[in-house]
Amino acid sequence: MINRYIKKYLAYLLLLTSVFAHGLYTGIQKQGLQEVSTPIGFAFYSMVYCSVFLLPFAVSDFRKTKDKKDIFNKKTLISLFSISILSQFIALSLKLYALKLTTATNVGFIASFSAVTLVLYSVVLLKEKLPKRFFLVLTTMFLGFLLFRYEGNGLNMSFGLGETLVLIFIFVTSFSNSLAKITMNNKTSPFITSFARPFFATFFLGLTTYLMGDFSVNNLFSFWPILAGFMFAARIVTLYSGLNLTRLSNVAIFNTLAPLITFSYSFIFLKETLNPIQMMGAFIMLSGAYGMAWIKKNKKANLVIN
């Protein structure tokens, strides 16, 4: 009984740490792009450091693994490679380009719609039925989004490229994380999965950066990519460790806090603000995201939101 409660609250502590790191990470990326202006380049530099920070954890876990075939089999390697390319080459690039086009606050709050992908992927991949309240919650979130788009002269109904990239980012990342959950269920440790996530993508990001003529030694050793790499390493290792100890729906619920942390960071360091109506819209969106995650709380799923 005691061990069960320790496991439960350890998972919550890990998820809370993960969400805090994730919220800061988005703000740090936005601020870093003011110094390293190329999104692909920033992604490459930060993932180099992320891989370095995660390497000791992966090596330690690898040494403890009795059957190395659990890692070096074709199926596992393909899964780890796919996770990396989807999440840290494709999705990360989309997110950074979105941050060039819109605010970190916008990216954070629009990403709350990732709760919807938990339900949609459950229906598509796991053949589950749509929850009865799905469309009610989705409508609530959409109304909140309309208020969030309110500006001084009225509602801004435009949906720009930046916002579109965030939505694509959500779908790609959620799918890649479903692969991560399946991979960990097949005896691959959270630390090895965490390390693989940036590792393989780093080579493709580096090649793309070089071909675009954007490689810079000064940018490689600049402060912001190092900080972003460390923050993402903290994010991903605590996320996967917590995921091993609790339900996926709990991950989704905790993730509704991330936009608030991003906004706090952006308000202090980037001078981003929201008017009262936008704050109300943001609150409604987060409430809807929480409700969407709560719907799935007692249902089986192999997906996690990022």
**How many Å apart are CA 175 and CA 216, to the nearest integer?**
32
Above 60 in pLDDT, residue 284?
yes
Which tokens is 248 given?
């996926």
**How many Å apart are CA 285 and CA 280, to the nearest integer?**
9
Farthest CA pair distance, the chain:
64
pLDDT in tens, 179-232: 887 787 777 888 999 999 999 999 999 999 999 999 999 999 999 999 999 999
Q: Which residue has the higher pLDDT, 288 or 206?
A: 206
Residue 97 is predicted with a pLDDT of 96
Above 50 in pLDDT, residue 33?
yes
Classify residue 52: in a domain, yes or no: yes
In the chain, how many domains are there? Answer: 1
Residue range(s) defining the domain that contains residue 172: 2-129+158-274
**How many Å apart are CA 266 and CA 82, to the nearest integer?**
32
Classify residue 7: in a domain, yes or no: yes
Classify residue 229: in a domain, yes or no: yes
CB 115 within 8 A of CB 289: yes
Classify residue 140: in a domain, yes or no: no
Vertex 18: Cα angle to 279 and 7 (nearest 5): 120
Helix (H), strand (E) at residue 154:
strand 154-155
Classify residue 134: in a domain, yes or no: no
CB 192 within 8 A of CB 58: yes
Classify residue 137: in a domain, yes or no: no
Q: How confident is the model at residue 296 (pLDDT cuts 50, 70, 90)?
A: low
Could you list the beta-strand ranges (E) of 8-80: none
pLDDT in tens, 43-97: 999 999 999 999 999 998 888 777 666 677 888 899 999 999 999 999 999 999 9
Residue 211 is predicted with a pLDDT of 95
Classify residue 40: in a domain, yes or no: yes
- How many percent of the chain have pLDDT more than 70? 89
Classify residue 287: in a domain, yes or no: no
Chain Cα centroid distance, residue 84:
13
